[in-house]
Chains A and B, each alone.
Chain A
């Protein structure tokens, strides 16, 4: 037997946590509204029955003002899941019940899952689950999914739903409206292939004067509002209702209010707040994180701390890894020679593929594997919505949406994820701005490179405290520059290609939660490592091979590689870079992690050095190839602003459904980067020539 179960609920109630706990999957979770933007599905077995679980995006209602709501509504209304598990946050049940009541209007196969019982317990919020179940006429279970508590009860409730009769208590409207709805319902039921949604359709028809996009169709394929009988019924009803003041607007308001008021009544009966000051800690933290005096300093402090821990934590594993990996390289080389393997076979394998992989792992992986879990902890705690709250004014000035700050935060992890995350922005214009500018935040694959360059050229000759302080400080500056550039680009776009005024903005600031330290750290370190390694093997290995071949195949005594870099060189010099750097950025397009390794590899193949043990040796290689602090700054600027990686480009095309916008998302940051590099290099050369 197979059953499809939809998981629905408000944003940020732990739906994804419930989903992961049930399916054993690793859908990324975080404490901010809108984390799940696409539906995920997974399966699990329980009591001999195969359950297919669908994690719907979080929404506040099914009345479809946004893409997520539309996805959730369509799935519940038209995909006929065997049951819907409505997940609620026990600490703010009242607001959550609004959606549950709406779902209940569509289907009677609903299980209410009151999640985050542990948080409610802490705040001394008591919920009378059995009374709630009686009032709603559906099974109600209490869970705290993070600790795996109560999950089995969900399955018990699902099978209860099959076996014993429950009589859902649908929400009744004021009499005059209720009788009109029932009349409409009867007419609609005759035409619907699935009459169970007739009441829901009747309400939609009445509240909108028949304007009902994506309405269900009858058997002949005519949409409901276009069926003559329905239209006649509708106008008859509005003739009788409107003299009494019941126009569409009043009906809409009345419907919304009826749900809200019923949720209020239910909570008054079933929920007891034993500690009236239960949210005191949240309010104190909110004051700390968002007040005029402390809001921005704390934000910058968090940013700095994140990088400080990353930088210093990465040093040791980085040098250990490179020692090990490069001694393995020597060993491979010796073994290959002693086995008599011809050089044309082992050289590309060892000096091409293996070496690039070794660099990706030793230089790029440790900072990535440290930064990501730290950031996830901050996310789990609930800090990110406060960032959006603090920065919203700036985005408003740029005619964009404050939630763009959330998508930028996601971009710090991975720009492709950030681009998908832009779905949380309701206005299409503002969403497009967020998509196009997302790559101006350096992703996890880029900042280890920025960090390496900073350590080598800008903060290298310091000792003690400064040595641990400066790289993190410069890196934070780079991120701040990325934010400024994002704002400038957003302003530019909303004044030119994407003209318009800022739309409305509602953002929930969820309660703070204690992050799940152990779970987050273990999972994100492992996931990150596996992900980076996987991508490195797929992209770095062929790139390494390609470079080796280009460096060793010669046309008239000059390697092909030199032809390419010489060709790019004049243009790159204008930008303060050189041909090798620009070529590495081009070849590194499949994954930003491999840009620096490709660069080193290319210099190496043209120079005399054969081995790179640490950053100091790496620096001497770069200096030998003409790098100065100006080159370093230009490389940093260019890695902050150039084309997005291939994955991000493809994601942008998927999200915008347009190749044109994808090209713009490549052109925009590339142009910004080129102009910045050119201006900086020209100015710096001019001034350094003066002194």
Chain B
């Protein structure tokens, strides 16, 4: 069962998910909320940088780049 709590950083380019929550003390929380990332938001990984990190995500029709260690603070449910 891989559908419950995976991290956003686990999404590979081309995969999509829905945000379920943040790690307890997510440092970035407010900033991510300002960018429209809240529980229930669909998110799609569209690519990674040539060196593998950061990755780019499509959220609410904008593209946001996040480092792996920051994306690991966001929990998602994978959707096909």
Contacts and interface: CB of A to CB of B under 8 A. Distances in A.
Contact of B62 (A63, A95, A261): A95
Given A91-B61, A508-B62, 17 more contacts: A60-B31, A94-B60, A257-B39, A260-B41, A283-B46, A286-B47, A290-B49, A389-B54, A390-B49, A402-B65, A505-B65, A505-B66, A505-B67, A505-B70, A508-B35, A508-B63, A509-B56
A63 B34 contact: yes
Contact of A389 (B27, B49, B61): B49
B38 A509 contact: no
Contacts of A94: 36, 60-61
Interface stretch (A103-111, A291-299, A529-537): A291-299
Contact of B64 (A263, A402, A508): A508
Nearest to A261: B38
A169 B62 CA distance: 26
A161 interface: no
Contacts of B34: 60-61, 63, 98, 256
B38 A506 contact: no
A505 B49 CA distance: 14
Contacts of A260: 33, 36, 38, 41
B30 A256 contact: yes
A509 B67 contact: no
B62 A392 contact: no
A95 B52 CA distance: 27
A110 B23 CA distance: 36
B47 A287 contact: yes
Contact of B50 (A61, A261, A291, A509): A291
B56 A290 contact: yes
Interface in B13-46: 27-36, 38-39, 41, 46
A4 interface: no
A394 B59 CA distance: 25
A506 B50 contact: no
A612 interface: no
A396 B52 CA distance: 12
B10 interface: no
Nearest to A393: B51
B44 to A, nearest CB: 10
Nearest to A249: B29
A497 B66 CA distance: 27
A252 interface: yes
A504 B72 CA distance: 11
6 contacts: A61-B30, A257-B33, A286-B63, A505-B70, A506-B31, A510-B62
Contacts of B62: 92, 95, 508, 510
Interface in A279-333: 279, 282-283, 286-287, 290-292, 295-296
B4 to A, nearest CB: 21
A290 B50 contact: yes
A506 B66 contact: yes
Contact of B67 (A92, A253, A392): A392
Interface of B: 27-36, 38-39, 41, 46-54, 56, 59-67, 70
B16 to A, nearest CB: 14
A95 B31 contact: no
Contacts of B32: 506
Contact of B53 (A63, A283, A287, A392): A392
A506 B30 contact: no
B54 A394 contact: no
Given A95-B36, A253-B33, A256-B30, A393 B63 contact: no
Interface-centre pick from B28, B38, B63 (highest chain A CB count, 10 A): B63
B54 A392 contact: yes
Contact of A60 (B35, B48, B49, B50): B35
A574 interface: no
B49 to A, nearest CB: 5
Contacts of B64: 506-509
Contacts of B60: 92, 94-95, 264
Nearest to B32: A506
Contacts of A393: 49, 51-54
A65 interface: yes
B9 to A, nearest CB: 13
A279 B54 CA distance: 21
Given A95-B61, A260-B38, A504-B67, A286 B50 contact: no
Contact of B51 (A63, A91, A98, A394): A394
B30 A63 contact: yes
Nearest to A61: B34
B75 to A, nearest CB: 14
Contacts of A61: 30, 34
Contacts of A253: 29, 33, 38
A92 B56 CA distance: 17
Contacts of A287: 47
A402 B61 CA distance: 23
B66 to A, nearest CB: 6
Interface string A42-64: 00000000000000000011010
A257 B41 CA distance: 10
B28 A504 contact: yes
Contacts of B66: 505-506
A506 B53 contact: no
Closest 3 CB pairs of A and B: A393-B51, A295-B50, A256-B33
Given A92-B62, A505-B67, A509-B65, A291 B47 contact: yes
Interface string A248-269: 0000110011001101100000
A66 to B, nearest CB: 9
A286 B49 contact: no
B22 to A, nearest CB: 9
Interface string A470-513: 00000000000000000000000000000000101111111000
A95 B35 contact: yes
B60 to A, nearest CB: 5
A257 B38 contact: yes
A506 B61 contact: no
A392 B65 contact: yes
B56 A505 contact: no
Contacts of A392: 49, 53-54, 65, 67
B15 to A, nearest CB: 15
Contacts of A389: 49, 54, 56, 65
Q: Which of B32, B34, B60, B61 has the most CB of A within 10 A?
A: B34
B50 A296 contact: yes
Contacts of A261: 38
Nearest to B25: A249
Contacts of B61: 91-92, 94-95, 279
Contact of A396 (B30, B31, B41, B67): B67
A208 to B, nearest CB: 11
Contact of B28 (A252, A283, A506): A506
Nearest to A91: B61
